[in-house]
A and B are shown apart, each in its own frame.
Chain A
């Protein structure tokens, strides 16, 4: 198994950098796929990014070569150039020609590693930082809005809030049409879910008042919106009580008062 040219030998000794990059990449990939926590997903993304950076930098390694910065003897402004100029000054010849750097010979080119991967990874790191900051901001906002960054809890909450407020006018119109058609067929539907409360409220209205369409549609809109909100708010408030939030109305005065009391404190502290 370990004779010359075997796979394991080859991978472990000559290509260890690829193994490390593959392992890091898989850790990141696994975290991104399987973790429910959004922050853990971000950590996975960062590890993935690190793996790519390691890959690029490691393929730029070159034996017997230095970093892509000119050595002093090749440096256009280095000691070697200056010494040459000084020598020429002493002998009194034209000096300007030596300021211009000369093209490297092929064997001198071999002394430097390729600068391009380093440049690419430099920009990748910077963009990685920017995107990571943006992603963290999004996570913060999600946490503020839904009280969690766990994906499964988040999906449940989003579904619930979607059911509560049907946002898009298109979906609203669709719902209305569906309820109308159902009501003409079956006026009395059994009251089961929060949705059907609103639906059942509608035919009563339309039977009582034979008004213009506008008023009926308005009452239709207002009633189903109110009722499900009042009924389905209960689970949300009970769940958010754990995090210590209060209903919306007393928030603003409390916050203002706290700001007032806090402001002089800070001045005193300074």
Chain B
């Protein structure tokens, strides 16, 4: 009876293609997405307000800072939920190994390559995070690259090797610290007389102008996001690859 599902699918497809005729053409400078006052406001004011060359970062961390904060909270909650779902379910582990599980030494070529690559990857992650103001990048991207480096360690050796460096309680502490950094910057700017996440008020504690205070507060916020994303990415991998047992794994 699978063909029945084709009826709504084809219906939706015809509707969407019919609607696509009214959409703007590819790269049309007069399209609503390019001509909206919001777009020109962001393009005009980002440099004046925040002195951040990368408008995406400025919109993400400053103009839409509230949204991004709860975005980070969503990532954090997803990590906690995965932990809660899979925690303790590893009790179903039997004594016998499954067919796909083999006791194998880590491959010497792989481990040596990874040993060389991981520091580079982590430095690149810091670069992506810190350079997100002037080039493509930011907290989410840097955090994912950083988390990938830990996952690479877990893949090349085994999960225990990675857990020694980044145990799960530490993961959760770092993730929570990231959100605390983000919210802390928001509350700090509130206590200094502005609104929540109104970074410009941080000029009272930073020796810079109002614009540069926003610039630097954005960096702090991105670092918080990077903390959370790094640890949650690794926690997701560690839990999903071992069904919550945190032992063995891939």
Contact = CB atoms under 8 A, between A and B. Distances in A.
The yes or no verdict on A and B being binding partners is: yes
Interface of A: 7, 10-11, 14-19, 22-23, 25-26, 29-30, 33-34, 58-65, 67-70, 74-78, 100-104, 106, 109-110, 112-119, 122-123, 125-127, 129-131, 133-134, 136-138, 140-141, 144, 244-246, 251, 254-255, 257-258, 265-266, 269
B13 A26 contact: yes
Given A69-B135, A101-B48, 16 more contacts: A18-B16, A25-B13, A29-B9, A33-B5, A33-B8, A34-B5, A62-B34, A63-B27, A75-B47, A114-B38, A119-B64, A129-B75, A130-B232, A133-B240, A134-B81, A258-B95
Nearest to A27: B9
Contacts of B138: 122
Chain A contact residues: helix, strand, loop or mixed? helix
Interface of B: 2, 4-6, 8-10, 12-13, 16-17, 20-21, 23-29, 31, 33-34, 36, 38-40, 42-48, 51-56, 58-60, 64, 67-68, 71, 74-75, 77-79, 81-82, 85-86, 89, 91-96, 103, 105, 134-136, 138, 140, 144, 160, 211, 229, 232-233, 236, 239-240, 243-244
A22 B239 CA distance: 35
Contacts of B94: 244-246, 251, 254-255, 258
Contact of B51 (A101, A115, A246): A101
Contact of B6 (A17, A30, A69): A30
A70 B77 CA distance: 35
Contacts of A33: 5, 8-9
A257 B51 CA distance: 63
Contacts of A141: 85-86, 89
Contact of B44 (A16, A69, A104, A116): A104
Contact of A26 (B9, B45, B105): B9
B20 A22 contact: yes
21 contacts: A15-B23, A34-B4, A62-B29, A63-B27, A63-B28, A65-B34, A69-B136, A77-B134, A101-B47, A102-B48, A103-B45, A115-B42, A115-B58, A118-B56, A130-B79, A133-B82, A134-B78, A134-B82, A137-B85, A144-B243, A255-B95
